[in-house]
């Protein structure tokens, strides 16, 4: 039949002789360059037939089905190239900042013994998932986009598939630990701020085990039924093996957030609540409001939309703004945490007293000598 082909605009998977295939207009190009007089690009379909002489010409032509007339302008092409380069620089800076902050936060929680508890242990796992996600983005960019001459339509190596599989695992693990943070906050309220270690292994299984099983099923499915390209296409129906657990985690977290807000409101309105407990609940309310982006509530905006809807906004939101999410997590859970600040001050004072004592001992020894 006809082999896989990249025509400069779309990727056409291999097809047996005598059959035809239709693909949608490329979403990012249509959203960026489409004119208001023409329907959105994803509504258009282009069809090609596999004949004895090879692939037929696109029907209807791209310029009729999709608003791509402006692609002939070098200025528009250069502007689009600058657009994506700028976006890459922004999310690279974001992930680099997040990685530095997260590694420092993990070091702080690991070094100070008094900070070792179930709550902070969950925070460390959560930080680690963000570290993996940021690292996976850099690895994926390095493998897939390091060489501009690579044809991404026909590229199908073990390395690129492994990079995509690691990336999907990191993203899914990040959403699962986001869910664990929501579950744990709700558990704290239900157990009246009691730190219960009996749930720790359950949280670990949710955070790391569920993504491992899910990605394993996805890898086996792609190997068996859809083993072409680098597995970075989101048009494949098997993408739902990854997307469904992510959507489930997002909406369960959204429900948990609403429930936590309701429980806090009820406790604060309680007339029998002491002033100390009321201040404690008010602090928790403030932290809960700050946790809105951490709970993934903002992802609900895009969760039910198809991948080609709002591509430009989705790219900015998930790549650029999402790249700083790890920094925000480290800031809220570690650097602005009063318990962490008190422990750092205590150890800093202890270290200063130790240094002063050493200097005094050295001076005394010199005087005696």
Number of DSSP helices (H) and strands (E) in the chain, helices first: 14, 5
| Helix ranges (DSSP H) in 157-274 | 158-190, 200-204, 210-225, 240-269
Band (236; pLDDT cuts 50, 70, 90): confident
CA distance 90 to 113: 37
Q: What is the mean predicted confidence (pLDDT) over 83-89?
A: 79
Band (169; pLDDT cuts 50, 70, 90): very high
Query: What are the residue boundaries of the structural domains of the chain, listed by start?
Result: 5-29+36-65, 90-340
Q: Which residues, at least 6 apart from 326, have a Cβ–Cβ distance to it below 8 Å? A: 95, 98, 99, 101, 102, 127, 130, 131, 133, 134
The candidate with the shortest Cα–Cα distance to 93, out of 353, 348, 326, is 326
Average pLDDT over the chain reads 77
The candidate with the shortest Cα–Cα distance to 87, out of 311, 320, 318, is 320
Q: What is the mean predicted confidence (pLDDT) over 185-206?
A: 74
Q: What is the mean predicted confidence (pLDDT) over 261-271?
A: 76
Q: Is the pLDDT of residue 72 over 70?
A: no
Cα angle at 207 between 205 and 212, to 5 degrees? 75
Instruction: Label residues 236-257 b or e (16+ Cβ within 10 Å = b).
Output: bebbebbeebbbebbbebbebb
| HSE of 227, CA atoms in CB hemisphere, 13 A | 9
The residue that leads in pLDDT, 368 or 242, is 242
Q: Is the pLDDT of residue 22 over 80?
A: yes
Q: What is the mean predicted confidence (pLDDT) over 264-292?
A: 67
pTM of model > 0.75: no
CA distance 108 to 118: 15
Q: Is the pLDDT of residue 120 over 80?
A: yes
Dump the DSSP string for 63-80: HHHSS-GGGG-HHHHHHH
Q: Is the pLDDT of residue 150 over 50?
A: yes
User: Domain 90-340, what fold?
Assistant: Rhopdopsin 7-helix transmembrane proteins (1.20.1070)
Q: Which residues, at least 6 apart from 28, have a Cβ–Cβ distance to it below 8 Å? A: 311, 312, 315
Q: What is the mean predicted confidence (pLDDT) over 124-131?
A: 93
Q: What is the mean predicted confidence (pLDDT) over 150-176?
A: 85
What angle in degrees, to the nearest 10, is found between the helix axes of 338-368 and 74-111? 60
The whole-angstrom distance between residue 35's C-alpha and the CA centroid of its chain comes to: 32
Instruction: Locate 194 and state its tokens.
Output: 């009691």
CA distance 51 to 41: 27
Question: Is 329 within 8 Å of 102 (Cβ atoms)?
Answer: yes
């Amino acid at each position: 039949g006809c082999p896989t082909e990249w025509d400069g605009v779309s990727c056409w998977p291999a097809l047996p002789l005598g059959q035809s295939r239709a693909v949608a207009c490329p979403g990012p190009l249509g959203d960026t360059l489409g004119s208001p007089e023409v329907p959105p690009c994803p509504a258009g379909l282009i069809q090609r037939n596999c004949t004895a002489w090879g692939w037929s010409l696109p029907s209807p032509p791209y310029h009729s089905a999709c608003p791509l007339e402006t692609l002939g302008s070098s200025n528009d092409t250069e502007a689009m190239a600058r657009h994506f380069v700028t976006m890459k620089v922004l999310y690279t800076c974001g992930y680099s900042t997040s990685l530095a902050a997260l590694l420092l936060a993990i070091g702080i929680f690991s070094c100070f013994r008094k900070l070792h508890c179930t709550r902070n242990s969950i925070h460390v796992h959560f930080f680690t998932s963000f570290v993996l996600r940021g690292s996976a983005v850099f690895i994926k960019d390095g493998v897939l986009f390091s060489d501009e001459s690579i044809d991404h339509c026909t590229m199908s190596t073990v390395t690129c598939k492994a990079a995509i599989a690691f990336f999907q695992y990191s993203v899914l693990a990040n959403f699962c630990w986001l869910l664990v943070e929501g579950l744990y906050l709700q558990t704290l309220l239900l157990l009246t701020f009691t730190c219960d270690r009996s749930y720790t292994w359950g949280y670990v299984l949710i955070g790391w085990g569920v993504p491992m099983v899910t990605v394993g099923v996805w890898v086996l499915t792609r190997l068996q039924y859809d083993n072409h390209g680098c597995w970075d296409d989101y048009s494949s129906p098997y993408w739902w093996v990854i997307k469904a657990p992510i959507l489930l985690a997002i909406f369960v977290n959204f429900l948990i957030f609403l429930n936590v807000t309701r429980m806090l409101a009820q406790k604060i309105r309680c007339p029998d609540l002491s002033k100390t407990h009321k201040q404690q609940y008010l602090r928790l309310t403030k932290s809960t409001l700050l946790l809105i982006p951490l709970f993934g509530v903002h992802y609900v905006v895009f969760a039910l939309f198809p991948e080609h809807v709002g591509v430009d906004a989705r790219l900015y939101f998930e790549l650029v703004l999402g790249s700083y999410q790890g920094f925000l997590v480290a800031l809220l859970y570690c650097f602005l945490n009063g318990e962490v600040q008190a422990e750092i001050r205590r150890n800093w004072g202890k270290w200063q007293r130790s240094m002063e004592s050493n200097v005094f001992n050295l001076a005394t020894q010199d005087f005696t000598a």
